[in-house]
Amino acid sequence: GDSVTQMEGPVTLSEEAFLTINCTYTATGYPSLFWYVQYPGEGLQLLLKATKADDKGSNKGFEATYRKETTSFHLEKGSVQVSDSAVYFCALSNTNAGKSTFGDGTTLTVKP
Amino acid sequence: DAEITQSPRHKITETGRQVTLACHQTWNHNNMFWYRQDLGHGLRLIHYSYGVQDTNKGEVSDGYSVSRSNTEDLPLTLESAASSQTSVYFCASSESAGGQETQYFGPGTRLLVL
């Protein structure tokens, strides 16, 4: 079945540091890939997505590129802020399945 | 603005009691989902529905049930609450988009079973 593996946390960075959170997937067909973010006490919300190979999703300074050859969708940000502290989930949605498969989440803490 | 709401936001109950968690969405989405979130397990799918009168079991459905009588609501019932069901529960919805669905999540219900 489909699966998503993401970098274990927690990750602690200083403000303005570079962020990478690794995500790899296993899936049949041609899934769409997502990053969701969960701020403390809230539900998940979409951060960015990519629907086909080589697509780059971007939002709020975050980027991720859909790499079919390495089955990866790594999340990056050039300069993190304290307000980026949250849990980040990588996920995939497969053709006509309707459901999404989520990674276990990576907790990011950014210190001033 | 369209939204997805959950109630109650916090609930304390005793083992053996029946508990129902409400989920209501105004997106007019066909797909609705219930997850539980526990430390070390990420999000686990409990039940899901692709439309009115349709329900399906997820990976951790034992002890839970759902029913879908209209588009907007998918209540989750714990038939006989157990301490192992202490968790944070999230409802989500999505439109049918051929595998490109973004899920929209509610704010969660924190359930404690004593």
C-beta of residue B95 within 8 angstroms of C-beta of residue B82: no
Quick one: pLDDT at residue A9?
84
Interface test with A, best of B1, B10, B103 (most A CBs within 10 A): B103
The answer to whether residue B96 scores a pLDDT higher than 90 is no
Find, among B27, B107, B33, B70, the residue nearest to A98 by Cα: B33
**Residue-level length of chain B:** 114
Provide the 10 A C-beta neighbour count for residue B80: 11
Distance CA A33, CA A66 (A): 7
The minimal CB distance from B99 to the residues A36, A42, A94 is found for A94
| pLDDT, position B101 | 82
On the 0-12 / 13-18 / 19+ scale of CB atoms within 10 A, A5 is middle
Kindly list the residues from chain A whose CB atom is less than 8 angstroms away from the CB atom of residue B51.
Answer: none
DSSP label of B105: E
Instruction: Identify the pLDDT of residue B100.
Output: 76
Which residues of A are less than 8 Å from B104 in CB distance? 45-46
Q: How confident is the model at residue B99 (pLDDT cuts 50, 70, 90)?
A: low
Distance from C-alpha of A103 to C-alpha of B74, rounded to nearest angstrom: 24
The answer to whether B1 touches B100, Cβ cutoff 8 Å, is no
Report how far residue B54's alpha carbon sits from residue A100's, in angstroms, rounded to the nearest whole number: 18
What is the structure's pLDDT at A49?
Answer: 95
pLDDT surpasses 80 at B104: yes
In this prediction, residues B84-103 reach a mean pLDDT of 88
Residues in chain A where the model's pLDDT stays below 70: 95-97
CB A39 within 8 A of CB A62: no
Preferred mutation among A100, A102, A104, A106 to probe B, highest tally of B CBs within 10 A:
A100
pLDDT tens-place string over residues B51-76: 999 999 998 999 999 999 999 999 99
Chain B residues closer than 8 Å to A3 by CB: none
**Per-residue pLDDT tens for B1-57?**
889 999 999 999 999 999 999 999 999 999 999 999 998 778 999 999 999 999 999
